[in-house]
Structure 1
Amino acid sequence: MEFSLLQDLMHIKEQAREFVEERFREFKWLGENGSEEDLFSELCFCVLTANWSAQGGIKAQRSIGTEGFLNLSEDDLEASLVAIGHRYPKARASYIVRNRSLIGKLRSLINMNPFTAREWLVRNAIGIGFKEASHFLRNVGVEELAILDRHVLSIMNRYKIIDQIPKSLTKSRYLNYEERLREFADQFGESLGKLDLYLWYFIKGKVEK
């Protein structure tokens, strides 16, 4: 039941709070002070993490670096992704190169209505769906959106917040599930963006991004 998830998260809230707040300060700093190139690197991280892993995305971001995301040829990007073991190196290299056209437009998203900003990203960024757009916006300090990845959906299903884990998420289903999680976040006393970090701590005992 939802109440038991609330109880379980309350048990770890105090020990996780410092890690969650520190990570969110990093997100806010990036959103407020990062260059367009820094923001693009974070968008690339979200593209790479999709259908892979946060740890893999972090590894790729560190290995390739902002300059690599900005300047490497598509073939060289693909080779770099092959070297670090990405599941879809060719497709992701293509997405990154094609998304370079967005540089100069990312900062404006941060102060936009978050739902409008997410819709814009889904329409204009290659390899970005609702989950990835929410992930990017959260990682630059936007708190109002849910990142409905398989781990979060699994928890929602286990605690009967949703009836099943869908094979795919349509826009209407994503928004429906997000609203259910928002109601839970309100009970927990945190924003959706921070709730995601508490859920990750609950799952893995650490806070990623």
Structure 2
Amino acid sequence: MENLLNELNEIKPIIKIDVENRFKEFEDLGENGDSLDLFSELSFCVMTANWTSKGGIKAQTYIGKEGFAHLSYEDLNKKMKEVGHRFPNTRTKYIIENRWIIPELKNMLKNNNPFEIRKYIAKNVKGIGWKEASHFLRNTGEKNLAILDKHIMRIMLKSNLINELPKSGWNEKKYINMEQRLIPLSKKFGEDMGKLDLYLWYLAKGSIDK
């Protein structure tokens, strides 16, 4: 862990302002975004699963919040293909089937227990597992959840925070167990888990995405 902590402390003064600004964007979305803004972000998290963050950002901008909420299957699917999504048919289906949650999102985020919200989303929203639910909540301002992306997991393995990469999909027990391995690093680094992820992502990819 100490080598990783040293790496994080080296980049902190370089990217801290960018990290803080990005997190303010997350908080602003969670506090001031309307239901379609929030559904757009949820759809972004559906799209980035097994794809790329940059691809998801491109698709989110291209489709727009009204598109996620209102386009027909055919029109949304066409746009997914136009941006080169790996799984346009499945992701289009998921997004349309998730529209039931649009009226619930604003009130859902007012719940003071992010772990309960994450569990509900992971169990009830199509194309969203524990990682994607954590991603959505972090991107709407939640500070205390980890996004256990494969790039983050590889850093954890290299730094001996875990002994091996998970061999199968996530369940609640496995995800929380892995998430807790990052808590000591978060405390030593002096940043909440949500911001720590942005620093770790920068180490892995050389950019601050979302």
Task: Report if the CA contact (8 A) 2:146-2:194 is conserved.
Answer: yes
Identity over aligned pairs, percent: 50
Matching of residue 153 in structure 1 with residue 160 in structure 2: no
Deviations 1:139-183 (CA, angstroms, capped at 9, x unpaired): 000011000010000100111101111132332221111001122
Matching of residue 49 in structure 1 with residue 48 in structure 2: yes
1:73-84 → structure 2 map (5 Å cutoff):
73-84=72-83
What amino acid maps onto 1:152 in structure 2?
I
Q: What's the counterpart of residue 201 of structure 1?
A: 202
Measured in 2, the distance between the counterparts of 1:182 and 1:104 equals: 33
Task: Report if the CA contact (8 A) 1:110-1:142 is conserved.
Answer: no
Measured in 2, the distance between the counterparts of 1:11 and 1:110 equals: 34
Output the TM-score relative to the length of structure 2: 0.96
Matching of residue 120 in structure 1 with residue 120 in structure 2: yes
Task: Report if the CA contact (8 A) 1:30-1:39 is conserved.
Answer: yes
**Structure 2 stretches lacking a partner, 5+ long:** none
Measured in 2, the distance between the counterparts of 1:103 and 1:16 equals: 34
Deviations 1:23-53 (CA, angstroms, capped at 9, x unpaired): 0000000011000010000000000000001
* Counterpart secondary structure, 2:103: coil
Shift of 1:71: 1.0
Shift of 1:14: 0.9
Q: What's the counterpart of residue 35 of structure 2?
A: 36
**Structure 1 stretches lacking a partner, 5+ long:** none
Task: Report if the CA contact (8 A) 1:44-1:96 is conserved.
Answer: yes
Shift of 1:195: 0.2
Measured in 2, the distance between the counterparts of 1:157 and 1:111 equals: 35
* Counterpart secondary structure, 1:193: helix
Q: What's the counterpart of residue 86 of structure 2?
A: 87
Q: What's the counterpart of residue 170 of structure 1?
A: 171
Measured in 1, the distance between the counterparts of 2:22 and 2:151 equals: 19
Shift of 1:90: 0.5
Measured in 2, the distance between the counterparts of 1:190 and 1:206 equals: 18
Measured in 1, the distance between the counterparts of 2:156 and 2:110 equals: 29
Measured in 1, the distance between the counterparts of 2:191 and 2:107 equals: 25
Measured in 1, the distance between the counterparts of 2:59 and 2:5 equals: 34
Deviations 1:106-153 (CA, angstroms, capped at 9, x unpaired): 122323201001011012211100000000000000011000010000
* Counterpart secondary structure, 2:181: helix
Measured in 2, the distance between the counterparts of 1:117 and 1:75 equals: 31
Deviations 1:49-81 (CA, angstroms, capped at 9, x unpaired): 000010010010011111110111112211111
Measured in 2, the distance between the counterparts of 1:44 and 1:170 equals: 21
* Counterpart secondary structure, 1:105: helix
Shift of 1:5: 0.5
Output the TM-score relative to the length of structure 1: 0.97
Measured in 2, the distance between the counterparts of 1:19 and 1:109 equals: 28
Aligned residues: 208
Measured in 1, the distance between the counterparts of 2:37 and 2:95 equals: 14
